[in-house]
Chain A
Amino acid sequence: MPTVVVANTKGGSGKTTTALVFAGEIVAAGGKVVILEGDPNRPMARWATRRGTPVIEANKTKVGSAADAEGEIRTIAGESRIVVITTDNDDEAVFDWIEGASAWSHFIVADPEGSPNQWLNSVASQADLVLIPFAPTTLDANQVARTIQVIRHIEKMARKTVLHRILVTKASPGAVVTRDEREIRENLAKNGLPLMTTTLHDRPAFRALFKFDALLSDLPVSQAPEHQVNGLAGARADAKALSEEILTLLTQAQEQAA
């Protein structure tokens, strides 16, 4: 029941896609996932509603304790292995939802708004891993530095280490690495910033997750020509590598803490 927060203070960095790819891998392996959505644009809730995945709107479902939250999740989940919970920025019950979700799910994946706010602070303080996705452009790289500053601030105030890793997303899937990407990677390494080995490349199959309201394992949703998706094998390889690297990191962290 670790909590993985996918955070970047800039929107459009691939947060929601990363969260969904990882959640999909856990579900495909027989696990259960609660996706905690803090983004007021509600992309995850929209995805879930369209495909019939249960959604709890925390501002309409008041809970007084973690046990209440767990009960709500179990009731709405039914046979589903994914539940999406949307919470607002200053929702005090977010901790009850995290506690309740941890009793039901193998993983909690948090998808915050693309700007620093108290929701991010609250949830990241409980995180077992913060993933910072970013597209390899100078604009995004600047925001990575900002997100890491936020994490360091949280570490200082919460008096705990927050395990975090930077994840390159939307990278060119070809063999050629752009000059921007190479320079950014070199810069991250030079500054000792922790970079994931895995990359989520810019592949049509990742965009298809939202086009067809699907998980990678659902694709293609039919054999019809209009449902065929390019880059599926590559996307599956990226997703597998991502989940394995995350699980390895969390296992190592658990062993160090033991």
Chain B
Amino acid sequence: MFAPLADWASSLEALTEHFPVLVVVLPMLAAPLCFLVRHANLARAIGGLAAVACFAMVVQLLGRVLDEGVVSYRLGGWPPPLGIEYRYDLINTFVALIVSAMAAIVIPFGQNPRAFAVPPGRHNVVYAVYALCAAGLLGMTVTGDLFNIYVFLEISSLSAYTLVAIGSERRALMSAFSYLTMGTIGGLFFLIGVGMLYQMTGTLNIVDLSERLADVSSVRTLSVAFAMLFIGLSIKLAVFPLHQWLPNAYTFAPPKVSAFLAATATKVAFYVMLRVIFTIFGRERSFEQMNLDRILLPLSVAAMFMGSIAAIYQLNIKRLLAYSSIAQIGYMTLGISLNSESGLVGGIVHLFNHAVMKGGLFLAVACILFRLGSVKIEDMRGLGRRMPWTMGAVLIFGLGLIGVPGTVGFVSKWYLVVGAIERDLHVVAFLTLVSSLLAVVYVWRLVEVAWFSKASEGSSAQTVREAPLAMLLPVWLLALASLWFGISTDHSAGIARLAAQQLLGTAP
């Protein structure tokens, strides 16, 4: 029944052609397999293999996109405006790279069984949900069809709620519930926006949509559609006043889940927001007709300050990191609202940098929880001497959050400040720097507790050992990445610049 494949080379080449769809299909294939095998380590192997393969495929695709421009794949062979198209351009291939890299870092190294409220023997389900979440996020990133984005958004969200809910504490359940409530409303707002756009243009393909929207004159419906899409995505992204679900969800989820979600879920929502603002509505309409910057700029600045100030007062390191995430999301949206190339580069590169830093920090918290059994900052007294590698990585990521030169955080803040100055928004540039000083405060709290205070007598911080290699390896991979991309900016910032030019339509 199947056509014989001539030899390895040609079969590999035939396979390369299908990479665009396999990126989504492979994790989706892994999910039911993980569910079926009923053995935790076997499921881990399947999920990990799929994630690593995905990462390899996205790397290959990124090379192709850099060489040839857009790579398009027609599902079922139907041509684009009719059928669903998977469309890889620079920005979404870049985001897909981050998502698949995080999946490849989080899934294969295993999960702490104590962090999950799953009966022993059923831990394979955890990997199935991870794989499903990764499939949803990757699908959202690569698809060129607006409704398809909604479907994948819900697939990834439903699995994210599940991952949060299986945290070992009972408070995880309630935070998953409010995450579900907020997330579903956000998804529905997005869906209404999609419906209105469909009503006006009769198409769901993003490229086709953007072309047809140029002829639409009804400003009112368009404004409502824009508002619906924007608010729906803002909930998913946790833009400042709509962030309430995030601190609890990240605090009570197992730390590796927090690492995965912090590094991917909000990033993909940010990507979709970029798509809506710059590709579908276009820069002119978004900023001149809808006055997006007047709304988003104050909200971003408020998020930067509110998140950082709230982070200073936290007693729990996970909650501290969660509030810091809200501040960092503020930096990303600031990049959009500056409405300039440098600003957008800053936003996109911060998307990458924050994924590296926050993913790494939460993975380090996983190490701390594994050895210390606590995530309270007070209990971490003197931990710098007992777990030097873990806390060393925390320090590197912390410096990145502040934006010290030589770390990734510096690169994105540099672009943001340049973007603000280019637009003559000196106040915003100043506020960006001030909010970085707030980051110094909360990072310093961690440093002080870990290195400059003595462990209290008889506390477990006096006796703990360094985390096992399998847990340190992913943390240090990310720590080295954060140093590497802080010094050599060709790859991260270079691709971000090209992607920004492609989004703004100013590509040379």
A binds B: no
